[in-house]
Homo-oligomer: A and B are copies of this chain.
Amino acid sequence: MGDKSEQKKQLIVDAARQVFAEKGFAGVTMKDIIEASQISRGGIYLYFDSTASIFAEILKQEQERPVFAGEILEEAAAVDLLLLFLKEQKKDILRKKENLSVATYEYCFANRLASLDNPVRRRFKEMLDVLTQLIEMGVSEGEFYCEDPAAEAANILYLLEGLRVSAHTIGLTEAKIDSQLLQVVQRLVIE
């Protein structure tokens, strides 16, 4: 039955997400995922044919999540929304052992994608749009000063990406991240 089948598929995806979060992408074998899910060696091939296709599914689902985890209040000030966004990002960057960032990087590297419709790119675009709108809103409300909101939004996202990857390569303390995010805010906000 399609419904039950979907459930099982989701079970595998959820188990696999754990595995990928722990071990990244490159080092994960089908066996790892099989052992993490309640499925047999042969059974997993009924749903996925490789670790890559499982991870692709995870990314797809990831993309469907809203950019902002919390509620966005229409009447909220742009500064507050920005602070909220940055705080969420910081939290995620620091939760480096539990998130999918390393797996996502490794997946991108292994598959040498960077093609137009890859989910990581789409996610970036989506975040870029949201952030650009946020900045434009702040500018029109007189909260922010910014000549090129789109470029500024991209700048913030690339900085966050740099922090995210650096958390894994050189290690980052919360203080260091705060220092960087503070700069971002100071640059924008009219005091």
Q: A111 vs B78: C-alpha distance in the bound complex, in angstroms?
A: 40
Question: Which of B152, B158, B168, B183 touches A151 (beta carbons < 8 Å)?
Answer: B183
The answer, among B104, B154, B160, for a CB contact under 8 Å with A169, is B104
Main secondary structure of the interface of A (DSSP, over half): helix
Q: What is the bound-complex CA distance between A168 and B24, given in angstroms?
A: 17
A91: shortest Cβ distance to chain B, in Å? Answer: 17
**What are 12 A-to-B residue pairs whose CB atoms are below 8 Å?**
A24-B109, A24-B110, A26-B26, A105-B165, A105-B168, A106-B109, A114-B168, A148-B183, A152-B183, A158-B159, A161-B161, A165-B165
Tell which of A10-18, A32-40, A49-57, A117-125 binds the partner.
A117-125
CA distance A105 to B109 in the complex (A): 9
